[in-house]
């Protein structure tokens, strides 16, 4: 049976690309909207950096836990309806978050947001691989990931500026209203699935599918890389504000918020690396991106502000490239159960965000920025070693195929 793929350059292509881009924008603007406020929460609620970081870590952990079940439900309910519900409900909660009277209630709302947001990322990745021409899925995945970069950047910048001008309550309300408007537009703009057939599946079938995915060495390796790169990235940005708002830099909340503008390089790297995988393969590009990420982390050790920020920029470039390649590779490698394979990647990804993101606070308290870099660089060395093994395996397989011919 011929599949009706979305072709590059068509009207449907641009409709789908823009919708997915803005959907990922909303998801990541909401997911990380409290990250620039971690130091503010520390002061206002008189809590430690690690505890304040739970406003991010708890949300990502909740997303990770619920994402697999929601991705499973999307096999029956449909991709578009699940993504739309996730965006609308989490946006409404973003508005409610602005009125949280204490940190405990704020954490409860954030946990619920994370659970709802679980209905977007893995399903979007499955939608891309089902609906777009296979020859351009690397490019499309890169564009989708660039939307996560823009959403994360704009959310943080808006929060930082409005918190300085007004309060964190008004800042969060503004993000909520903006997200609601975009979510309504998404509902009408995203083309309906053409290559998706609803399947009624029992919840008891989830475990065997997940085990089947974990038992594949390639997928397990990519899941571990997702854990390490996301944990490293979130740990860096969680505590960057503490370092830059303290002596000798003494930057303001607004300036620190605008540092998230470095996410713009993510729009370049994710699209560039995604397109590059279509040309030279996933393994080589993943190793390049991981190497860039590690180099940026080490450059940030320099005490000079400009050099430190250059290091963070290089680190950010490498992260978005790594994520675009790894996530796209997972979806390509899972011939069946794509939504579940992608959701399992994102489970590791967001658990890494929660675990390493939280532990980073203890390393910061122990040895400042140098301690944090020690944790992050160690995680990235492990990720790069896994990437090198994958590259060698891919080279060996290619050699065997050429010999067989």
| C-alpha radius of gyration, the chain, whole number | 20
Residue 281 gets the label, from left (phi > 0), alpha (psi -120 to 50) or beta, of: left
How far is 323 from 316, CA to CA, in rounded Å?
Answer: 11
Q: Residue 196 domain-assigned?
A: no
Phi, psi of 213 (to 5 degrees): -70, -45
Partners of 6 in the β-ladder: 132
Instruction: For residue 4, count other CB atoms closer than 10 A to its CB.
Output: 9
Residue with tokens 């003494």: 250
Q: Residue 78 domain-assigned?
A: yes
Classify burial at 185, counting beta carbons within 10 Å of its beta carbon; exposed 0-12, middle 13-18, buried 19 or more: middle
Give the DSSP letter of residue 135: G
**Sequence-separated (6 or more) residues with CB below 8 Å from residue 356:** 228, 230, 231, 232, 234, 235, 375, 376, 379
pLDDT for position 390: 92
What are 310's two structure tokens? Answer: 């250059």
Q: Residue 301 domain-assigned?
A: yes
Q: What is the CATH number of the domain that holds 85?
A: 1.20.1250.20
Phi, psi of 167 (to 5 degrees): -160, 165
Q: Residue 44 domain-assigned?
A: yes
| Half-sphere exposure at residue 134, Cβ-oriented, CA atoms within 13 angstroms | 7
pLDDT in tens, the chain (405 residues): 557 888 888 999 999 999 998 999 899 899 989 988 988 998 899 998 889 999 998 998 898 888 877 877 777 777 888 899 999 999 999 999 999 999 999 999 999 999 999 888 878 888 888 888 888 887 888 788 778 778 878 888 888 889 988 999 999 999 999 999 999 999 999 998 888 777 766 666 677 777 888 888 999 999 999 999 999 999 999 899 889 988 899 998 788 878 878 878 877 888 888 888 878 888 999 999 999 999 999 999 999 999 999 999 999 999 989 998 998 888 778 766 666 787 788 889 888 988 998 899 899 989 999 999 999 999 999 999 999 999 888 777 756 655 555
Classify burial at 402, counting beta carbons within 10 Å of its beta carbon; exposed 0-12, middle 13-18, buried 19 or more: exposed
- Whole-structure pTM value: 0.78
Q: What total of structural domains would you count in the chain?
A: 1
41: domain range?
A: 11-190+209-404
Q: Residue 140 domain-assigned?
A: yes
Instruction: For residue 46, count other CB atoms closer than 10 A to its CB.
Output: 10
Q: Residue 95 domain-assigned?
A: yes
H-helix or E-strand spanning residue 353 = helix 338-404
Q: Residue 328 domain-assigned?
A: yes
Q: Residue 4 domain-assigned?
A: no
């Amino acid at each position: 049976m011929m599949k009706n793929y979305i072709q590059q350059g068509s009207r449907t292509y641009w409709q789908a690309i823009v919708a997915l881009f803005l959907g990922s924008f909303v998801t990541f603007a909401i997911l990380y909207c409290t990250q620039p406020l971690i130091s503010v929460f520390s002061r206002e609620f008189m809590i430690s950096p690690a505890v304040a970081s739970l406003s991010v870590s708890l949300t990502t952990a909740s997303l990770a836990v619920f994402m697999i079940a929601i991705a499973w439900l999307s096999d029956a309910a449909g991709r578009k309806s699940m993504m739309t519900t996730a965006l609308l409900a989490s946006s409404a909660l973003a508005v409610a978050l602005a009125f949280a009277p204490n940190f405990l209630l704020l954490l409860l709302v954030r946990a619920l947001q994370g659970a709802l947001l679980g209905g977007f990322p893995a399903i979007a990745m499955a939608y891309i691989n089902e609906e777009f021409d296979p020859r351009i899925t690397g490019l499309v995945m890169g564009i989708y990931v660039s939307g996560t970069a823009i959403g994360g950047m704009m959310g943080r910048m808006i929060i930082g500026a409005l918190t300085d001008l007004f309060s964190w309550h008004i800042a969060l309300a503004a993000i909520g209203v903006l997200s609601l408007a975009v979510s309504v537009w998404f509902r009408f703009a995203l083309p309906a699935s053409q290559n998706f057939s609803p399947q009624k599946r029992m919840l008891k079938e989830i475990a065997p599918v997940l085990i089947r995915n974990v038992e594949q060495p390639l997928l397990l390796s990519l899941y571990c890389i997702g854990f390490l790169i996301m944990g490293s990235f979130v740990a860096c940005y969680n505590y960057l504000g503490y370092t830059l708002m303290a002596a000798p830099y003494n930057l303001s909340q607004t300036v620190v918020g605008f540092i998230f503008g470095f996410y713009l390089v993510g729009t370049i790297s994710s699209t560039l690396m995604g397109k590059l995988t279509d040309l030279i393969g996933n393994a080589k590009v993943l190793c390049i991106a991981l190497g860039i990420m590690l180099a940026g982390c080490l450059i940030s050790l320099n005490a000079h502000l400009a050099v430190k920020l250059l290091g963070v920029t290089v680190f950010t470039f490498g992260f978005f490239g790594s994520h675009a390649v790894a996530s796209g590779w997972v979806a390509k490698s899972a011939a069946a159960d794509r939504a579940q394979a992608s959701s399992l990647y994102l489970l590791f990804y967001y658990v890494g965000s929660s675990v390493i993101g939280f532990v980073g606070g203890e390393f910061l308290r122990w040895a400042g920025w140098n301690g944090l870099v020690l944790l992050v660089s160690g995680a990235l060395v492990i990720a790069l070693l896994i990437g090198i093994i994958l590259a060698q395996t891919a080279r060996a397989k290619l050699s065997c195929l050429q010999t067989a011919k």
